[in-house]
Amino acid sequence: MDIVSYLNGFVEIEATGTRPQELLNRCAREGIRFRSCKTLDSYTIRFAIARQDEKRLHSLAKYAGCETKSIKRAGVPFFMFRIRGRLALFAGLALTLAVLLASSLFIWEIEVTGNETVSTAAILNALEDSGVQIGSFWPTFSSEQIQNLVLEEIPELSFLTVNVFGSRAEVIVREKTPIPELLDESQATNIVASSSGIITEMFVYRGVAAVNLGQTVLAGEMLVSGAPESEFAGIRTVHASAVVNARTWYELTAVAPLETTQKVYTGETKTRLALNLGDKRINIYGSTGISGAGYDKITKEHALAISGVFRLPVAIVAERYERFDTVTVLLEEEAEKKRLEEYLYAELLRRLGDDGEIIEHSFTWNVAHGAVYVTIHAECLENIACEQIMTQEDLRAIEFANETREEDPEE
């Protein structure tokens, strides 16, 4: 039956006669619309008509030689007729509607989106200071005022807007783009080696190379000097810049125990119920003897809400406790070894950065004291140039050298 029939109300009729189709022909001629006609046997049919045609049909049936009876009355008008005397029901419905309408004017759920580095808690605190919190009356909100207050409190944010959908507030924020670090060209720096290795390539953009191609350097050794010397101008300081590619060698070791503890659930579960009314919590349980240790707690909150439309400040909280025992289990050596190898390889790639690459690598491993030790031996190619700001002593030494040169120009 379609929705229109339900809204108008319909009656299911059972007609019995020698020629029940005659009744249908008369209905069609008289403009009585019927639907879903089924034949029960050769002499009986069942069909549905609109509720206002019921009387006319019964009188028409006499002329068609049929006996008719109404089997079922359904639809909105019949439902309304059945509940007409029940005042308490109507009052309850009206009260529920009033509560729903009133509750939709308050915020019961705040959702923050768009934040990456600023925590949601920090944004919620700032919103609370500006008057946006659970239970606040949203028609008094001024988006501009909230935006000003929150942006003043959290300078890392560049934009904030509050959209209210029923009793749910959606807070959209945008964070400021961090200002990129600018190269301070006036700062005197040298380039030193970040790792020991053999230099394979050098591109000096600013400064004077202090080492040669093919030379072995140690970590921290100066590669490019930021104090070039000129015959006429003496020693001046620059912000040295260079790319120095070198072959480097790494040896990293990782350890993992071959024994671990695992949870084994005993199957014993306990459930505690509580009622959340706004910020208040009412526990619907007595002493359950749950200490917390040896139990996993799974909390589910069933709020009185229509998802995305509105939410009431009432929720039933079900806390399910599952008891577990801990047992010691032995891990497979091979699996642990493989896991450590993958970890070490990934860790080495992370240390080399985007510019570096692993040319050759191998693993060694052994088991001792109930643990597996895995070591990666790798030859890599990477940029080992690392900026180092000149110390005050270095600068004073350069200044002193320049002064000496001025006093004794022949030297």
State the distance between the two ends of the chain, measured CA to CA, in whole angstroms.
111
Residue with tokens 């020629």: 19
The answer to whether 6 and 79 are in contact (CB under 8 A) is no
Question: Is 36 a residue that touches another protein (CB under 8 A)?
Answer: yes
Position among 7, 18, 35, 333 found at the interface with another protein (CB under 8 A): 35
Contact segment (CB under 8 A) with another protein among 28-36, 57-65, 221-229, 348-356 equals 28-36
Site residues (CB under 8 A) for another protein, limited to 47-106: 47
How far is CA 18 from each of CA 27, 45, 358, rounded to the nearest angstrom?
A: 17, 11, 95
399, containing H or E segment: helix 392-407
In sequence order, which residues have a C-beta less than 8 Å from that of residue 121 and are 6 or more positions away? none
Under the criterion CB under 8 A, does residue 20 sit at the interface with another protein? yes
Among 13, 24, 118, 127, interactor with another protein by CB under 8 A: 24
Contact between 31 and another protein by CB under 8 A: the answer reads yes
Q: What angle do CA 113, 117, 123 make, to 5 degrees?
A: 55
38 binding another protein? (CB under 8 A): yes
Q: Is 42 in the site for another protein (CB under 8 A)?
A: yes
The alpha carbons of the chain give a radius of gyration, in whole angstroms, of 42
CB-nearer residue toward another protein: 63 or 79: 63
| 39 lines the binding site for another protein (CB under 8 A) | yes
Segment near another protein (CB under 8 A), from 34-42, 75-83, 97-105, 344-352? 34-42
Task: Read off the tokens for 243.
Answer: 């790319």
d(Cα 163, Cα 109) in Å, to the nearest integer? 12
Q: Which stretch binds another protein (CB under 8 A): 16-24, 161-169, 177-185, 325-333?
A: 16-24
CA distance 154 to 119: 11
Q: Between residues 37 and 100, which has the closer beta carbon with respect to another protein?
A: 37
From candidates 4, 18, 25, 389, binder to another protein by CB under 8 A: 25
Work out whether 3 is an interface residue with another protein (CB under 8 A): no
- 192 contacts: CB under 8 Å, gap ≥ 6: 220, 221, 222, 223, 386, 388
Distance in angstroms (rounded) separating the CA atoms of residues 169 and 228: 62
Q: Supply the DSSP symbol for 167.
A: T
Contact between 1 and another protein by CB under 8 A: the answer reads no
- Does 28 participate in binding another protein (rule CB under 8 A)? yes
**Binding status of residue 45 toward another protein by CB under 8 A:** yes
Shortest separation between residue 69's beta carbon and another protein, angstroms: 19
54-57 long-range contacts (CB < 8 A, ≥24 apart) are: 54/11, 54/13, 56/30, 56/32, 57/13, 57/27, 57/32
Taking CB under 8 A as the rule, does residue 10 contact another protein?
no
- Residue 33, interface with another protein (CB under 8 A)? yes
Binding range to another protein, per CB under 8 A, among 30-38, 215-223, 309-317, 329-337: 30-38
Q: Which is nearer to another protein, 24 or 305 (CB)?
A: 24
How many CB atoms are closer than 10 A to CB 338? 13
Q: At its nearest, how many Å lie between another protein and the CB of residue 46?
A: 11
Distances from the Cα of 247 to the Cα of 29, 193, 215, 379, angstroms: 100, 12, 11, 7
As a whole number of angstroms, the distance between CA 257 and CA 176 comes to 44
CB of 23 to another protein, least distance (A): 10
Q: Which amino acid is located at 65 in the chain? A: G
Among the listed ranges 31-39, 333-341, 353-361, 390-398, the one in contact with another protein (CB under 8 A) is 31-39
| 20 versus 356: smaller Cβ distance to another protein | 20
d(CA 255, CA 321): 35
Locate tokens 């072995």: which residue?
A: 216
Q: How far is the CB of 74 from another protein (least distance, A)?
A: 18
Q: Does 21 bind another protein (CB under 8 A)?
A: yes
Note whether 272 and 287 are within 8 A (CB): no
Q: Does 27 sit near another protein (CB under 8 A)?
A: yes
300 binds another protein (CB under 8 A): no
Min dist CB 13 to another protein, Å, is 13
Tokens of 275: 């009622």
In this structure, are residues 300 and 321 in contact, taking their beta carbons and an 8 Å threshold? no
Judged by beta carbon, residue 44 or residue 120, the one nearer another protein is 44
Q: Which of 6, 16, 37, 235 binds another protein (CB under 8 A)?
A: 37
Q: Residue 331 pairs with which residues in a beta bridge?
A: none
| Interacting residues with another protein (CB under 8 A) | 20-21, 24-25, 27-29, 31, 33-39, 42, 45, 47
